[in-house]
Chains A and B, each alone.
Chain A
Amino acid sequence: MDFHRVMKDLACVVGETAIMIDPDTLAGHGVDGVRPGAVVFPTDIREISEIVKYANEHGLALVPRGSGTKMAMGNPPKRLDLVVSTCRLNRMKDVDTANLTLTVEAGVIFRDVQARLATEEGRCYLPVTDPDTPENAPFCSDREHKGSFLPIDAPFAEQATIGGIIATNSSGPRRLLYTNPRDIILGVRFVSPTGDIVGMGGKTVKNVSGYDVSKLMVGSMGTLGILCDVTLRLLPLPERMETLLVGFSSFEDAAPFADRLLETRLLPAAVEVMTHSTMDHILPKDAPALDSGRYFVALAFEAFDEAVDRMNREAAEAAAANHAAGTATLEKELHGGFWLKFGNLGIATAEKFPGFFMLHLNYPVSIWKEIFRFAEKMLRVEGIDHTVSAHAGIGICKITLSIDGLDPDAVDRVVRVVERLQTLCRGAGGNCAVHNAPAEIKARLKVWGEEGPDLLLMRRIKEKLDPLAVMSPGRFVGGL
């Protein structure tokens, strides 16, 4: 493939400065070590449509990219010619706080959305120290609204783009209260794998006009199109937000505490059960000291004053009844800062270790304790550095593994662990996916876990919409 020719052709579409083939850019935009032939930076949906049509005509394979925070998910691409960056699609097109809906381009940073929705007084869902957003309008200036937020608990909140969050259906512990992107998306405009501009849904919070293509695009990992505009529901900013951290010396005390809270009619935003090793990465240095516990339950309360008071009260009672080693409260920015750090867990560890793996386990919620115990015990026995954290009320567990180098023995141990977790989860009707792994190890792992009986239907959809396998070929489930 002659990329000088490609560059010339696409320069007619996006302009000369918006397409790059220099080695540094190519290295920086690689996917699992696979380098593209060119990286292109379109500014709007029409340019993207032209690019995709061109790719179809010339048999090019392309991968869309936002900030790259989750590019390690999935299989290495079977082929990769072009990386299409969405970073210049960064306009907030419709911020309608009175209607509690938002339409932004795919390249808009999640953090900027929350900042834009903050109140004049500086109340914001994320702990935003520097309030400036790209449009240079500091806080939301229309005084009709009391502050709102985009109810997604996205990891890598300060870097991730909305497009990437939607493409991966990214969520976090506070999904317990707010559900996930799939449940709040209202509309999309995207470029299909054959280069058509398609728009479905809109800004009404209810819409059953036609197939729910928005939902199809959520979590589709760049294999069914390139997202350009996304419309999402907003929620009013909670009156008060704080976190209660409870430490326990034993999992056998932490677990019933979490269960007890989940059985009440209380509505915490998160009930997160984690190992000490996890908390080590997160605990703010200036937070009130916790008596050393080996397991922690982090409770997020985001509600009206009275409700937060009651949740604090009942949680404190339950903590005492379950032999808690200590508690600490994180208010205001410390609350936001804690969950921000939690969401950055992947980055924090990845930077330290070349052999970094992130696992995403899902299983019926009733067996969460068994999964946690099994995973933790096995990781100790195999002697692998790890963090384990469970969204206790949802049936999701996130595990990070770090090995010092990629020596064969260490890698074997990791592969063994992953396989056993996959068997365990699959047997229970769930799955274990590998969301991050060194590219060279991926070949030894089933990064998406076991395939399900519905793969045949997914394949039908992919083949119909992307007959030439232009979009992210091979990266998704079943090699789609």
Chain B
Amino acid sequence: MDKRELITCLEGIVGPANVLVSDMDLELYSYDASLDRARPDVVVLPDSTEEVSKLLALAYRENIPVIGRGSGTNLTGGTIPVNGGIILHFSRMNRILDVDIANRTAIVEPGVITLDLQTMVSQYGLMYAPDPASQKVSTLGGNFGENSGGPHCLKYGLTSNHILGAQIVLNDGTVIQTGGKSVDNPGYDLIGLMVGSEGTLGLATKLILKLIREPEAVKTMLAVFDTIEDGANAVSETIAEGIIPATLEMMDQLVIEAVLKTINAGFPLDAACVLIIELDGMRDGLERKTQKIMDICRRNHVREFKTARNEAERTLLWAGRKGAFGAVGRIRPSYMCCDGTVPRNRLPEALRRVAKAGKKYALPIGNVFHAGDGNLHPLILFDDRDSDELDRVRRLATEILKICTDLGGTISGEHGVGLEKLKETHFIFCNSDLEFERRLKKAFDPTDILNPGKMIPPAACEPS
């Protein structure tokens, strides 16, 4: 089938207005929040499961790659069409279909913006727990594809722990339903496998989300430290003390400086690092837990410790944290966000080694991350117009991931493998592990049209 025939077929499925082929459109969809780029052949915007099914059936017949896309905020190249193909853009499928208060579930289309859903259910005293920093922009379908995390996953788990079921369109257009409003339907955990599969096993067209009761009380604290070591030790000790806060985030000086240029979030300018700690749950015992955390911080030479007195102060603290990635744009135009994760008691060691590596490659690194679960986000800051810098950045990123895996950690805590970390998969996987992944992929997509080139390195690339 030639290009013109393809366009005609696509227009027949979604309507001409929803097929984008202009040069500008293709350019706009050639990038996401990662550092990679590649142009698709066409972008389509379906409006229903039926349309998605027809699109995939067509792609399967004609052997054309299909890449699902929400808001394109993923950081690892998951939405980059490396082999060209069709971008299946879910922005029109953005309806919240059902909010079932009695069963504490919501059914949504994949294009719904995460924060919109959270705002909507909040009026019923319910919450959808996963809160990736991108939640204002990212879609639930994208969260599904990447198994997104966020600060609250320390206590509440990742996206995968909050999806009860889905309607999935398979490689050849077959539509299946798996899971539902009820837990424990027997069979393999297809949801568990598909969440975080980065669009390589199928595309979700409806999601059944788990909602939980909003906690009765929340306490948000800010702890300021004069050394990163002290902050990191406070994190380890909190977990060892037996307290699982709802969140435990760290930001270092470089990031603090950047943030304060944009927002007066209440952090002191000269702190080596700050911790944002949030406790939630029943109000009873919350004071005592707060006191314990304060004691831990004091034992680790905390300079200042304060608690948000009201919702406004709390929001400001969080605005500082959630706006951090954007804020560093004031220092350098680009950043590479590494996503290595270490067991949390190796955190101080990890940060030391990462800082040393940064100096070795002469690149500034800002740290803003989920300290409580050991998920680092060293932001390597650079100017992507300087190709020498870009090269150093990639090498530093690889070295950082090696540091993490050497400490018993892994290469990705929440952003996925995508394109970005294909070359580092062998830090954690051996031949037979990757072969197993390839077999699973073959079970779902033997002709490799679903987001090809992602997650699993091709067999030929492996070190012998």
Q: Which chain A residues have a beta carbon within 8 Å of chain B's beta carbons? A: 96-101, 144-148, 169, 179, 182-183, 192, 196-200, 202-213, 215-216, 218-220, 224, 235-237, 265-267, 303-307, 309-310, 360, 362-366, 394-396, 428-431, 433, 448-449, 452-458, 460-465, 476-478
Known A202-B428, A211-B193, A431-B182; contact A457-B170, beta-carbon cutoff 8 A: yes
Expressed in whole angstroms, the Cα–Cα distance for A454 and B179 within the complex equals 9
The answer to whether B187 and A455 touch across the interface, beta carbons within 8 angstroms, is yes
Cβ–Cβ < 8 Å partners of B186 in chain A: 219, 431, 433, 448-449, 477
Cβ–Cβ < 8 Å partners of A364 in chain B: 100, 103, 105, 180-182
Whether B461 is near chain A, meaning CB under 8 Å from some CB there, is no
Known A148-B242, A235-B244, A307-B282; contact A210-B456, beta-carbon cutoff 8 A: yes
Pairs across A and B, CB under 8 Å, 18 listed:
A99-B239, A99-B343, A145-B242, A204-B409, A204-B410, A205-B154, A206-B375, A206-B414, A208-B147, A209-B410, A216-B189, A216-B440, A265-B282, A304-B288, A395-B183, A457-B444, A458-B187, A462-B188
Whether B178 is near chain A, meaning CB under 8 Å from some CB there, is yes
**Which residues in chain B, 276-297, are within 8 Å of chain A measured between CB atoms?**
281-282, 284-285, 288-289
Expressed in whole angstroms, the Cα–Cα distance for A146 and B160 within the complex equals 30
Expressed in whole angstroms, the Cα–Cα distance for A101 and B343 within the complex equals 9
Inter-chain residue pair count (beta carbon < 8 A): 252
The answer to whether B375 and A394 touch across the interface, beta carbons within 8 angstroms, is no
CB distance from A185 to the nearest CB of B (A): 9
Whether B207 is near chain A, meaning CB under 8 Å from some CB there, is no
Whether B146 is near chain A, meaning CB under 8 Å from some CB there, is yes
Whether B85 is near chain A, meaning CB under 8 Å from some CB there, is no
Known A211-B196, A431-B184, A465-B440; contact A206-B284, beta-carbon cutoff 8 A: no
Expressed in whole angstroms, the Cα–Cα distance for A309 and B288 within the complex equals 15
The answer to whether B440 and A461 touch across the interface, beta carbons within 8 angstroms, is yes
CB distance from B434 to the nearest CB of A (A): 8
Q: Which chain B residues have a beta carbon within 8 Å of chain A's beta carbons? A: 100, 102-105, 146-147, 149, 153-154, 157-158, 160-161, 168, 170, 174, 176-178, 180-190, 192-193, 195-197, 201, 213, 215-216, 236, 239-244, 281-282, 284-285, 288-289, 341-345, 370, 373-375, 408-417, 421, 425, 428-430, 432-433, 435-437, 439-440, 442-444, 455-456
Expressed in whole angstroms, the Cα–Cα distance for A477 and B189 within the complex equals 12
Expressed in whole angstroms, the Cα–Cα distance for A303 and B456 within the complex equals 43
Cβ–Cβ < 8 Å partners of B281 in chain A: 267, 307
The answer to whether B437 and A211 touch across the interface, beta carbons within 8 angstroms, is yes
List the 5 closest pairs (A to B, CB-CB), nearest first.
Answer: A215-B192, A236-B242, A304-B285, A265-B216, A464-B443
Cβ–Cβ < 8 Å partners of B443 in chain A: 460-461, 463-465
The answer to whether B444 and A460 touch across the interface, beta carbons within 8 angstroms, is yes
CB distance from B88 to the nearest CB of A (A): 20
Closest B residue to A96 by beta carbon equals B343
The answer to whether B425 and A210 touch across the interface, beta carbons within 8 angstroms, is yes
Cβ–Cβ < 8 Å partners of B201 in chain A: 211
Cβ–Cβ < 8 Å partners of B182 in chain A: 362-365, 395, 428-431
Expressed in whole angstroms, the Cα–Cα distance for A362 and B341 within the complex equals 36
Known pairs A99-B343, A182-B192, A431-B186 / 8 extra A-B pairs, C-beta < 8 Å: A198-B432, A206-B149, A206-B375, A211-B196, A216-B440, A218-B189, A236-B242, A395-B182
Expressed in whole angstroms, the Cα–Cα distance for A236 and B180 within the complex equals 32
Task: Find A208's partner among B158, B193, B437 (CB 8 Å cutoff).
Answer: B158
Cβ–Cβ < 8 Å partners of B187 in chain A: 448, 452, 454-455, 458, 476-478
Cβ–Cβ < 8 Å partners of A200 in chain B: 429, 433, 436
Closest B residue to A175 by beta carbon equals B183
Known A98-B236, A208-B413, A304-B285; contact A457-B374, beta-carbon cutoff 8 A: no
Most buried by B among A97, A203, A465: A203
Task: Find B178's partner among A146, A219, A452, A461 (CB 8 Å cutoff).
Answer: A452
Expressed in whole angstroms, the Cα–Cα distance for A209 and B197 within the complex equals 10
The answer to whether A209 and B285 touch across the interface, beta carbons within 8 angstroms, is no
Known A209-B417, A465-B443; contact A429-B174, beta-carbon cutoff 8 A: no
